[in-house]
Amino acid sequence: MGNEGSYVVLGLKTWNAQIDRADKLFGGLSSEEVLREIAPGRNRLLYLWGHLTAVHDAMLPLLSLGERLHPEFDVAFVSNPDKSRAETPSHEQVRQAWNVVNAELRKGFEKMSWSDWLERHSAASEEDFRKDASRNRFAILLGRTNHLSYHLGQAMLGLK
């Protein structure tokens, strides 16, 4: 095997490690705990969990792995702040969507070859990509892993 594979393996390993941490952190919360704010007046844990789910869901088309499964999550967890809407997905809906979306990503990642990761991601036009080859799928993986870590650091503060 060439060296290319090693870098991709490390990128995926880092992603999986953060997903595991998030599974443990969010998955262990009761329906009462999930409504806790991470700090007074700040986002609730459920909002962060839904936000991460929506952003991971959007990775499916970005990486050309398929259509979004939960585009309706955006209105509740991305384009509007927490506590601004009367109706948002429930604890159970967020838990299910989180699990399904991440399983779908895992399945998609397994089918990708090493060089696939250096292909254009779908939010960059072919011209964008010709000018800047770093607008590729590996950049999305690294960026979204860091996005997950960022919010995990916040979510930790919401545990008693």
Task: List interacting residues with a copy of itself (CB under 8 A).
Answer: 2-4, 6-11, 13-14, 18, 38-40, 42, 114-115, 117-118, 133-134, 136, 138-139, 142-143, 145-147, 149-154, 156-157
Q: Supply the minimum distance, in Å, between the C-beta of residue 56 and a copy of itself.
A: 16
> Smallest distance from the beta carbon of 150 to a copy of itself, in angstroms?
4
SS (H, E, C) 24-79: HHHHCCCCCHHHCECCCCCCEHHHHHHHHHHHHHCHHHHCCCCCCCCCCHHHHHCC
Least distance from a copy of itself to the Cβ atom of residue 116, Å: 11
For 127, phi then psi, to 5°, come to -70, -45
Q: Nearest distance from residue 25's CB to a copy of itself, in Å?
A: 12
Q: Which is nearer to a copy of itself, 53 or 145 (CB)?
A: 145
CA atoms within a 13 Å half-sphere pointing along the CA-CB vector of 69: 20
Residue closer to a copy of itself by CB (options 90, 128) is 128
| Cβ proximity to a copy of itself, 4 vs 71, nearer residue | 4
Cα 42 to Cα 155: distance, rounded to the nearest angstrom: 11
Q: What is the four-CA torsion angle of 153, 13, 22, 40, rounded to 10 degrees?
A: 10
Residue closer to a copy of itself, measured from CB, 87 or 110:
110
